[in-house]
């Protein structure tokens, strides 16, 4: 047996467990979701009725699904934009400025990311409590009683309350990612810019931001996927989709249809839409944000 052939066999043996597991637990279930979306099935009954694309036709007339779609898109946009702004800002401050206790602040910012989403839901349920919650208490101390709200009871603002919890959880994680990129930028670039008369803001927009842009592009995909996933967990733990479905998101509505209303095929059709939307949005964002790679 040749050396090259032995090497290929060794690589195949090493890779095969991962390929097998990926196929069993990712590829096949995904194919099954697409297949079951074409059936009318309760999930537990023995009979399945093939209905083709009828489940997808029903989706576009389902106002509850449209509401969950709007909520998911709103959360993706809000969480992505606000988290990027704060994460990049804090990363720049802790990386480029001499902050007393910088390592301490890094740890503090990262702690929310290691907490269970159920713990985060409990924390923010307490913060948003209308009677004794921290947020309304702060407004009371500051004599801003007009700002007090039923943060988890008002349909007009509750989705923004969910967004606040998601942003708090995400900032530290992405801040650390941006800090690693900023730390690798040569200090000589900033020294040269300073000699040319460029201020801190100009250095940030002309040096820091362009050189970490590829990292930001990568994290944009993370924002989309993580917001879709974590919003489901947070909604189930904090509001259960209420009040009156005002906080339903993609996956919570899919779950309720597939396992709560015994319309499994319809739930899988929602899953197909979520799958397609996620990949399409990630591809569009990646294309829009594409820039020439800057090397240093």
The answer as to whether 283 is a domain residue is yes
Looking at the DSSP assignment, which residues form a beta bridge with residue 275? none
Is 48 domain-assigned?
no
Residue at 34 is within a domain? no
**Peptide bond between residue 80 and the one before it cis (omega within 30 degrees of 0):** no
In tens digits, what is the pLDDT along the chain, a chain of 296 residues? Answer: 567 778 888 888 888 989 999 999 888 988 988 998 888 887 677 778 888 888 898 888 889 899 999 999 999 999 999 999 999 999 888 887 777 777 788 888 888 888 888 899 999 989 998 888 888 888 888 888 888 888 888 888 889 999 999 999 999 889 988 988 888 888 888 888 888 888 888 888 888 888 888 888 888 888 888 898 888 989 888 888 878 888 899 889 998 888 877 788 888 999 999 999 998 998 898 888 877 656 65
234 in any annotated domain: yes
In a domain, 243, yes or no: yes
Residue 83 falls within a domain, yes or no? yes
Residue 88 belongs to a domain with what CATH number? 1.10.3720.10
Number of structural domains in the chain? 1
Q: Is residue 2 part of a domain?
A: no
Read off φ and ψ for residue 244, nearest 5 degrees: 55, 40
Domain of residue 105, residue span: 63-288
Q: For residue 12, is it within any domain?
A: no
Q: Alpha-carbon distance 276 to 282, whole Å? A: 10
Distance CA(208)–CA(221), nearest Å, equals 21
Q: Tell me the CA distances in angstroms from 38 to 53, 57, 62, 81, 157, one per residue in order.
A: 6, 11, 17, 36, 36
**40 SS3 class:** strand
């Amino acid at each position: 047996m040749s050396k090259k052939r032995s090497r290929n066999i060794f690589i195949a043996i090493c890779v095969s467990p991962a390929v097998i597991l990926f196929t069993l637990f990712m590829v096949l279930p995904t194919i099954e979701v697409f297949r079951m979306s074409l059936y009318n099935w309760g999930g537990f009954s023995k009979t399945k009725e093939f209905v083709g694309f009828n489940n997808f036709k029903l989706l576009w007339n389902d106002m509850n699904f449209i509401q969950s779609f709007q909520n998911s898109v709103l959360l993706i946009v809000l969480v992505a934009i606000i988290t990027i702004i704060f994460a990049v800002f804090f990363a720049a401050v802790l990386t480029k400025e001499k902050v007393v206790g910088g390592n301490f602040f890094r740890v503090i910012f990262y702690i929310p990311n290691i907490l269970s989403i159920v713990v985060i839901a409990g924390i923010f349920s307490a913060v948003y409590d209308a009677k004794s919650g921290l947020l309304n208490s702060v407004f009371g101390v500051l004599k801003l009683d007009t700002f007090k709200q039923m943060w988890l009871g008002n349909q007009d603002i509750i989705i923004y309350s969910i967004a606040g919890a998601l942003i708090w959880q995400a900032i530290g994680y992405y801040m650390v990612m941006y800090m690693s990129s900023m730390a690798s930028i040569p200090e000589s670039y900033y020294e040269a810019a300073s000699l040319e008369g460029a201020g801190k803001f100009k250095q940030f927009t002309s040096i820091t931001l362009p050189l970490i842009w590829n990292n930001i592009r990568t994290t944009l995909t993370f924002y989309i996927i993580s917001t879709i996933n974590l919003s489901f967990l947070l909604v189930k733990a904090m509001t259960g989709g209420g009040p009156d479905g005002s906080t339903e998101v993609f996956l919570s509505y899919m779950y309720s249809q597939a396992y709560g209303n015994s319309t499994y095929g319809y739930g899988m059709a929602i899953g197909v839409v979520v799958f397609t939307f996620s990949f399409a949005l990630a591809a569009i964002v990646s294309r829009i944000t594409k820039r020439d790679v800057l090397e240093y």
